[in-house]
Every structure is written in structure tokens, then in C-alpha cells.
Structure 1
Amino acid sequence: MRRSWAAATVGALVLVVGALSYFLVKVTNERAPSGEGILVWGRFRDAAGLFQKSRVQTAGIPVGQIEKRELDPDMPMARITVRLLPGVKVWENAVVSKKSASLLGEFYLEIDPGTPIGIVKGEKLPMRQLKNGDQILNIREPTGMADLMADVGTIMPIMRDILQDVRTLTSGPIASAAENVNKMIETNSIVLQSVLTKVDHIAGDIEQITDTEGGNIRIAIQNVRDITESIKSLVGTSEGQVSKTGEAVRGSLQKLQATVDNLDKSLKNVETITTRLEKGEGTAGRLLTDDTIARNVEDITEDAGGFIRGITKLQTIVGLRTEYNFLSGQPKVYLSVQLVPRPDKFYLIEIVDDPRGLRESVVTNTESARGNTISKSTTYSLNRFKYTLQFGKTFFGLVTTRFGIKESTGGVGLDFHLFRERLLLSVDLFDTQFNRYPRVQGRVAIAPFNQRFFYLSGGVDDIINKRANFGSSGGFDWFLGGQLVFNDEDLKSLLLFGGGAAGGAKK
């Protein structure tokens, strides 16, 4: 009779859980929203480095993610669709920029949401707020290596023509003008020297003729001689300065010619390098022209970017739960760490201090000399500490399935998240070895605060087994307790507070 009642209880529990799961899945399929926030899109010439789920941010703050990337059906361009978070508003003068996130080739989108009032042709006009499915027209993309090489190839012929014109100028009109100036200076110096010599002779003749004319004439002639000497000295000094100026001009022209020659050689080297790059010669040329290498590098950067995004998006949730079992009169303590790489997947690591413990039996037999058993004793030992290692998958944000190791034995579990996770319903099935029937545990947790950092929990344990196979450690029980939950931001705040308190204590 007892066995039939237990089987009926298990069957009823399975039917109830199955019906509830079917109802929640059906309701979720019919009413679950496709996503929150609005969808906007834009056209890009190059979508390399942009992947699905890549972040979209404004002023360094995440405001959404890339929902989909595809080839635009109307133009040979990439069409990138972005899902913005609820509450993020963008106007028709918004600007989307593609920016590099790392040296591995990963990019993200920086969006300037625009303003309700924009300036168009010097006038202030109201801007339309974008709605779901609208297009962002203002797109900014960085210049790629291929565009840069094309610009260099366009500039090279222009630079070559400029250098040729400079060379022609320095070796033609300027050089001829400098040579003519130098010759003119030399010719005028000779003529002026001849004139001064003749003037000197005339002064001597006048002195001889006027020896008897008196002291006034002699004084006048002496003054004329002094004047001619001063003029001669001045002309000699000016001739040297003019000659030095001509030599300096000629030296500057020679240096300019040498600089032009060196620049021409450098441009020829640059032209040779760019030609080899275009032909795919050398390591750099193969990197720029070989599609296989480019695809391999893109695959590597995509894998590395995905790995890095997985690490940076990993969320850690730490929980501390204490429950009091009323029938056994002992508390049970849980310390859990939940690693969440994605919103719909997590890994649960848990250490449990269970008063029931793991039961291990040691049988001791005492035999007589004839081989008969005289006495038999059985000793049971308990190990209070247990561990849980489970993988969880969430469907539609409402139903979570778990499987793995539950309290050091194989087990599975089912969780229901209701009212934005303020009400949690859990059912676990595990521990199939130590009692007559598997251990079934049901729990209800309620978060009284909106922040969901504290839960009040209660439930029943070992529903099917009315009493344990080994002493009093096991069987039906009911419990009440509470749980504290910390996420990454809470842990950072606690660490900062603890570090500041420790520093103040040392002072």
C-alpha cells in the first residue's frame, strides 16, 4: 500500500510539473516579446569587424547592440541593423561612426543620437525622432588600407611633375640669373677701377701745374685726392660684399638642387615599394593582396574578438543562503557562485553544509575459529559538506533547466522565473542511492525589494520518503530561510568599501 501511494505521488508530481512547463512554454511562445527597444539601420561600405551582438555605445556607455548584418538588397553595401535599449532616443540628424575597439580588428559603433533641434543651411529646424525600422543616414567610416594605397598611387605622378618643374627652374632661369648678376658685378668693378685710376692721374697733373698757385689750390687738390681714396675704398668693400652675396646665392642653389635630387630618389623608392605591394610581392604585399591570408586573419580576429567579448561579458553572481529544517531541527547553509557568460546560459558552483551529510557504512564481522559469525556491527559516518556543479539553460526568460551534480549526487532541476524574477519556483530531483525513493525538493523564493538582492525562501525537502533507511538522517522535512545575492557591481562596491576601511584602520 505504501509503495503504491509513493508511486502515485511521483506520477502526480511529474504530471503537475509537465503541465506547468507546457503552459509556460505555450504562453511564452504566444506572448513573449521579440525584443525590447527600437530597431534602426544604416548602410556601410565595409562591415568588416562588425559582428552580431557587437556593442553600440554613446559617449562610452552601452546603448544597444548589433542585431543583424546583411547585404543591402538595393545597393552593393552592407546593411547593419541595431537594437537600442529602451528609453534611448535618436533623431534624424543622428550620426553613427565605426570605430576600432582593439588591435585585433574588432570594431564597435559609436552613435551620436542627435538633437530635437538641428541646424540646416544656417536655420534651426525641428528634427524628427526616429521610430522602429527607420534608417540613420549619417554614417562615418574610417579610411581603409586599400583606400590609402589608392590615394598614394594618385599622388605619386603629381609629386613627380612638381619635382621635375622645380629641377627645371633651379637648373634654368634661376641659375642663369645668378650667373648674369655675377658677371655684371665683375664687369662694373673693372670699369669703375679704371675711372678712379684716371681721376688719380688727373689730380697729380693738377698738383704739378699748381705748385706755384698758392696754398689754397694745394689744399683743394689734397681734398680731391682724399675724396677719391675714400671712393676707392668704398668701391673695394662693396665689390667684396657683392661677390660674397653672389657666392652665397650660388651655394644655396646648389644645396637646393641636391635636396631635389634626394627627394626624387626617395619618391622613386616609394614608387617601387607601392608597385611591389600592388603586385603582391614580399610579406606586406601578400598580406595586402592575398585573399586567403585576409580571410584567415579575419577568421582569427573574429574568433579572438568573440573570445574576448565572452570574457568581458561574463557576469558573476554570488549567493549566500541559510535555511532552517524544522523537523530535524538543524540549519543548512549554501554558498554559491553563478557564472553567466550569456543571459540564457550559466554555470552553477555550490558548496553545501548539510546536516544530513553523505552516509558511508562500515560493516564489521567477528568470526569464531569454526568459521561461524559470532557478531556483526554496522557503523555509519556522515560527511556534512557537499558540492553542486550544474549547467543551466534559460528558455524565453521564464523557464530554466539544470542538470549535473546536485549535492554530490547526480541530479536535475527546473526553475520558473515569474514577475521579473521577483518570484522563483524551483524543483530538484537527486540523491537516488541512499533512500527508497529519489529525493525531491521544492522551493519558493520571494524578493520583497525591487533590487532583488534579498530573497525569503521556503519549501519542502524529500517529499516522497517518509523516513530514512539509515537512522534519522533523511526523510520528509520542511524549511524556511533567506538568501543574499551579489552581482559584479555589488562585489566591486564591497571591495572598495572594504579596502577603504582597511586603509583607515592602518592609519
Structure 2
Amino acid sequence: MSNLSIEAKVGVFVVIGMIILGYMSMRLGRLGFKMDKGYDVKVYFDSASGLEEDVSVEIAGVEVGRVRKILLEEGKALVILRIDSNVKLRKDVKASIRSRGILGDKYVVLIQGSPSAPLIEPDGRIISTVSATDLESLMNVLGEVAENISELTRSFANVMGGEKGEASLRSIVDSMKAVAETLNRTVQENNEELVKIIANLSEFSATINEISSKINKGEGSIGKLISKDDTVEKLNETLASLQKITEKVNRGEGSIGKLINDEETVENINSTLTSLNDYMQKQEAFRTYLDYRGEYLFDSNDVKSYLSLRIQPRDDKYYLLQIVDDPGGVESETDITTTTNGTTTTQHIEKNEKSEIKFSAQIAKRYYDLGLRGGIFESTGGFAFDYYLFKDRLTLSMEAFDFDSDSNAHLKFKADFTPFKHLYITSGFDDFISDEGNESFFIGAG
């Protein structure tokens, strides 16, 4: 060996290494699962994307079979599994396709069901499957969300851009600053009252603790009632009497027992309850909401009122009817035509009085967290966007209506926050691009 050259020694080492590697591969191949043993089981998946033949089938991380074949049948992926003959599957077993890591290989996972369920016969079928969301579907959903946010941002930038938009934003900030200063001043002026309220709460808590202590010591009417032994004995006697009555009813004794144990009576009651349940489900599906909202306009020192009726046949769709009491109102114009001695005269009259009552009739559709509305807004055509946040407790809305060629459109931005079930707070900026001086910050509730 020492007489061999370096090249010969390297060649011998490579040959020996290849022999060892081939031997180990053969050994490992013998240890792996053999496709010619076991029995076949069918399972249908909506998608078998990324799954290949001869990948492992596992239960609790242990390989129990292999994927023998993947076919397309009636628009679904038919996956045939070869299961080890020593492994018995129940009919309520669940199958799912999983991946090892984010970009790892796909494999099939089986989740065993109840031990009392019957076994699946060879060439049987696994009924229950668990669909796993793949990376491509997740990216598509994220792409749609990003596109919606981009469109909303672009629309907001178009509305708020330019000198008028900058002035409107500055006015919003100034109004919010004024509200914050008002709240701060109110708290400072009523500091003594707040201290009294906190002191009263502290006294109330101390009184509750004192009452609880007396009850635990057996003092007072409630304490004596709880601490007396005869009270417990009487309670036990009452429970024993109730148990005897229940046993008689179960045996069918007495009027109530005969009524409950009569099969015809039970069937009639079940039929009545079923009809009542169907009626209640229909009523619950078709919901109606009545709402009043008042908005205090800082610019005109007046209140704008909304009386709304929302009819909601589905969770993602509703109809909105409103009566609006607008202190600004709408100007009234009238043409009067008169005929005298064959001469026709038309007189155009513009009244300064304004009709304060307006009407709205809208239809709304919701897509995930984004809602779209269209129809009549305060007696004019328009549309709106609603964006829902924090499980619908916060709603951001942008409304556009009254597209008059002689003046700017009426744009309104508002935010509704619902701290309680039947109460919400609203705030925003109304008609913020008005060229007639009608823009105003508002705050209200409903």
C-alpha cells in the first residue's frame, strides 16, 4: 500500500466510500416503508397542490404509509394511500395535507378518531378532511387587502390634496385642539366634584366590606339565616321533597307525570317548539334598527338631527332610510307664469327661506371590513365608503353627495365609536371643501 501513488490511494478511498454509501442506501431502503405491503385507502381533497407520490403518511409524527397515487376525479384530487397492515384506521379519522416548514415538502397527516368507531375496510374511503390554507391563497388575500387600502389612500389623497385640502386639515387640527382645551378646562373647574365622587366610591366600597364581614360573622338577618343549622336542615328537607316529586313524575304518577310521559303530548310539544324555533330564526335573520343621531355643528352653533331606519336582511347587506333636520336647509326656487291679454310673463322667484327637512334612501353592501353605500344622501345623489375596525366598534366613513355644478361637492368625514352596545359617539368634519363657508367641525352621539 505504501508503494501506491497518491492518485491511486485517492481512487481506492473513493471506491471504498461509494461501496459503503451504496450499502447504507440499501439498508435504509430496506428499513423504509414498503409500498407492496399494507392496504389502500382513498381520500378526496379540494386541492393536492405540492403533494407528490411516494411521500409519507404519518400519525402523531410516525410514518404509517405512503402516497401511492394521485388522480383527478370529478374536479377533486383523489389521493390513494397505502397504509401499513398493522395500522387500523377508524371511519371518523381525519386527513390533511401539511408541509414541513414554510417552503418544505408536502405530506399527509392522519388524525385518529374515536376508538369505538368502526374500522375502514381495504379500498375504503376517508370522509373527513381538513383543508389547510396554502401560501398562495394567503398571499392573494393579502394582495386584495393591500389593493383596497391603496384605493382608499388614493381617494383620500385626491380629496385632501391642494391648498383647500391643506386648509381643511389645518382647520380639523385646530378644532380638535380646541375640544381638548375645553375638556381640560372642564376637568380643572370641576376638580373638587371629581374628588368628592372618588371619596364617595371609597366609602361605598368600605360599607360593602363591612356588610360582608357581618354576614360572615352571622350578624344581621342575612348572616343569621346563613349561619343557622336549622336553615340547612330545612333546605335538605326541601331538596328531599323535590327529589320524591321528581321520582313520581318520572314513573308517570300524577297529572304532571302522565302529561310528560305521554308520547302524543311530547310529540305535540316538540312540534310546537320546532315551529316556534323556525319562526324565531326567520325573525332574527331579518333585523330592523331604529336610530337617532344628533350632531352639534361648531361653526353655526346648531344641531343637525338624523332619524334613521336600517333594514338588514343579511349580515353583509342593508337598506337605510333617513329623515334629516338640517339647520342649513336647501334654498327654494319657484317660477310663476301668468298670462294677461294674450301676453305670457314668467317670473323667477328665489326665496331666502330654506327647507330644513331632507330625506335619504341608501343601499349598502359590505366586503370584509369595507362597506359601500349609494343612493340618496340628504335629498341629493351620492355615495360613501365605510371602513370597520376593532370588531366594528370603530367606523370611519367618507360621504360624497350634492354634486352641483355651481359649487363644490358636499364631502363629509366622520368617525363613529361604540363604547357600549346601544350608544355610540360620533365626530368629524362636514362639507370641508365648501366654497360657500359651510364647512364645520361637529361632535355628537346616537
TM-score range, shorter chain: 0.3 to 0.5
Whichever structure has more strand as a proportion of its residues is: 2
TM-score by length of 2: 0.35
Which of these two proteins has the greater Rg computed from alpha carbons? 1
TM-score by length of 1: 0.31
